[in-house]
Amino acid sequence: MDNRPSAQKLTPSLSVVRSIVAQQDEVWNVISAPGHLELVHPFCESNVVVEWPGETSIDQIRYRSGWVYDRRFTRWIDGVGYDLEIGAVNEPTSRVSWRLEQRSDDITDLTITLWPRVVVDIPGLRGFVRWEIVGPMMRRYLRSVTAGVDWFVTHQTPVQADQFGHHPWFSSKRRTRR
């Protein structure tokens, strides 16, 4: 079976890989559960499920910053991962792929790959914005999300808001001092 992300990916992507001390099916049971983002995602205020599970899955994530994005799944591979489109209503979407791979008896790699939407449609400026601003910010975001999955799988405790650091785009705008 071809476990690579679906559809042609003509735009450059960025990926984050996190090794989790768990069997692949344990990680799959977490990331394939309805509403799972509320348990694993440090920037998620709520994760409302519209339809679940499978390739027709749809849910909505409300970020702590107030942004609301719809996630529409385009591919679902039981036990392995899924592909989806994410974005605000009536705006361009980004493509995302979640994949699991059993690396050894007790280590599973979770890879999240993102093909970001075009933020600036000015040819000379597009690449600069994507790789100098969007790229580092989204890697930081994806590292927090994968750390959240790892935390929940290994501790069976939901992640807290900003548990792995504040993010200027997705965290609450009312930042509190610790």
**For 44-54, how does the pLDDT look when each residue is reduced to its tens digit (9 = 90+)?**
999 999 999 99
Q: Is the confidence at residue 10, as pLDDT, over 80?
A: no
Give the chain's mean pLDDT: 87
**For 124-174, how does the pLDDT look when each residue is reduced to its tens digit (9 = 90+)?**
544 544 454 566 888 999 999 999 999 999 999 999 999 999 888 788 876
Assigned domain for 146 exists = yes
Radius of gyration of the chain (CA): 16
Assigned domain for 32 exists = yes
C-alpha distances in Å from residue 13, one per residue of 75, 114, 166, 173: 18, 5, 23, 28
pTM score of the predicted model: 0.85
List the alpha helices (DSSP H) in 83-172: 123-128, 135-155
Assigned domain for 27 exists = yes
The CATH number linked to 18 is 3.30.530.20
Assigned domain for 61 exists = yes
Residue 129 burial by Cβ neighbours in a 10 Å radius (0-12, 13-18, 19+): middle
Assigned domain for 66 exists = yes
Assigned domain for 81 exists = yes
Assigned domain for 165 exists = no
Number of domains in the chain: 1
- The whole domain housing 57 covers 14-155
Assigned domain for 29 exists = yes
